[in-house]
Amino acid sequence: MTTVLVIDDSPSEMAKFRDILTKNNFQILEASNGEKGCSMAAEYLPDVVLMDVVMPEMNGFQATRKITRGKTTAHIPVVIVSTKNQETDRVWGKRQGAREYLVKPVDENELVRIIRTVTE
C-alpha cells in the first residue's frame, strides 16, 4: 500500500485529502506544518509527500527543499498542492525539487493519477 504524507496547516484541506486518499486505498500520514512534515518524512520515509505552500514558520517551498535535498529523504517525490497558481510559483516549486505542482481545489482523479505516476 502506498503511503502518502500530507503536509497542510488547514484542517478542512486535510479532511478533503483524508477522504480522497482513504477512498483510493492509500495509507495517510498527516503533518500540520512544514517542520513537523520534514521530521515525519525522515522518520517514516513515505512513498510520496503532498505539500501545501502557505504555512506558518516553514513554508512549503522551504520544506520541499529540505526533503528533496536531505540525505535520507531525497528519493521521496514531493507534489506541491497549493492555492498559489501563478507560473512563477510553479517554476519556483519545481526548482525546490517538487516533482509536480497542483492547484487547489484539486481534482480527485488528477491527484490519484499524479500520486500513482510519481510512485511508480
State which residues form the domain around 55.
3-118
| pLDDT score recorded for residue 48 | 98
In tens, the pLDDT along 10-46 reads: 999 999 999 999 999 999 999 999 999 999 999 999 9
Distance CA 54, CA 42 (A): 21
What is the pTM assigned to this prediction?
A: 0.97
Q: How far is CA 26 from CA 41, 79, 89, 100, in A?
A: 16, 15, 27, 18
From 38, 27, 44, 91, select the one nearest 68 (Cα to Cα).
Answer: 38
Rounded mean pLDDT of 2-7?
98
For the chain, the domain total comes to: 1
From 2, 25, 19, select the one nearest 79 (Cα to Cα).
Answer: 2
The sheet with strand 100-103 has its strands ordered as: 27-31, 3-7, 48-51, 78-82, 100-103
Check if the beta carbon of residue 2 is closer than 8 Å to that of residue 120. Answer: no
Q: What is the CATH number of the domain that holds 104?
A: 3.40.50.2300
| pLDDT score recorded for residue 39 | 97
Residue 46, amino acid: P
pLDDT grade for 79, boundaries at 50, 70 and 90:
very high
| pLDDT score recorded for residue 90 | 95
